[in-house]
Amino acid sequence: MNETLLSKCEMFIKNRDAFKEAFPWENANFYPICAAILADENRVADVEALKETRQMLKERVSVFSNFRGNCELPIVAMLDVDSDPEWRLDDAIKLYESLKDHFFSSEYLPMAAIILSGVTERAGAAERTRRIYDLMKKEHPFLTSSEDCVFAAMLAVSEKGEKLAGGIYALSPDR
């Protein structure tokens, strides 16, 4: 195994263990996701910094906010790796409000907002996200649900997503 991959794997394991230590009562399925977010940025988790980031999140959104739902830990991880987590959270909250104009509120919509807040070219991203989601729903009406707004958001900020949202491509295997 090459040294870079080995180093990434070791960092991933350390990060996963740090999330277990910092948030022992949370859903264990999110520990590897959060560990991967940090490892992708070549960051080793700092338990105290993670707790501070979570506290900042709690101070800025209400206890009933969807930002504090199931996706709270991945949001904390994404904020933790950001150079300006306060700005990123404020921006994500604004984007969340914009997304709510196009989607029903759900516990997954804050994750879409935090993804969109991390990109610089996002003019019309909420509209593109909705158009892509509608294409997904059209092709797979019974398989597409509220959590797919996150995938639509990722596509909306990608090069392929711009083509999808613009109608050049459709989501079907023969195109």
**What secondary structure, in 3-state letters, does 26-48 show?**
CCCCHHHHHHHHHHHCCCCCCHH
Q: 64 and 116, same structural domain? A: no
pLDDT classification of 2: cutoffs 50, 70, 90: confident
Mean pLDDT of all residues in the chain? 86
Which residues constitute the domain of residue 60?
A: 1-81
pLDDT given for residue 157 in this prediction? 82
Number of Cβ atoms within 10 Å of the Cβ of 156: 28
In this prediction the pTM is 0.81
Q: 64 and 92, same structural domain? A: no
Q: Among 81, 115, 143, which residue terminates a domain?
A: 81
DSSP character string of 125-137: HHHHHHHHHHHHH
Q: Say how many domains are in the chain.
A: 2
In the block, tokens 């338990």 appear at 47
Alpha helices in the chain (DSSP H): 3-22, 30-40, 47-60, 72-80, 85-100, 109-117, 125-139, 148-156, 159-165
pLDDT given for residue 40 in this prediction? 92
- Kindly tell me the sign of the dihedral angle through the C-alpha atoms of 66, 55, 157, 170: negative
Q: 57 and 45, same structural domain? A: yes
Q: 151 and 133, same structural domain? A: yes
Q: Is the pLDDT of residue 123 over 80?
A: no
Q: Is the pLDDT of residue 167 over 50?
A: yes
Q: 2 and 37, same structural domain? A: yes
Q: 123 and 61, same structural domain? A: no
pLDDT given for residue 171 in this prediction? 42
Q: Measured between alpha carbons, how far is 41 from 31 in angstroms, rounded to an integer?
A: 16
Residue 73, CA distances (Å) to 37, 76, 125 in order:
11, 5, 24
Say if residues 44 and 11 touch (Cβ distance below 8 Å). yes
Q: Is the pLDDT of residue 169 over 80?
A: no
Residue type, 79: L
Say if residues 77 and 34 touch (Cβ distance below 8 Å). yes
What is the average per-residue pLDDT within 131-143? 92
Q: 94 and 74, same structural domain? A: no
Q: 114 and 151, same structural domain? A: yes
* Tens digit of each residue's pLDDT (9 = 90 or more) over 68-92: 888 899 999 999 999 999 999 999 9
pLDDT given for residue 79 in this prediction? 94
Q: Among 12, 47, 81, which residue terminates a domain?
A: 81
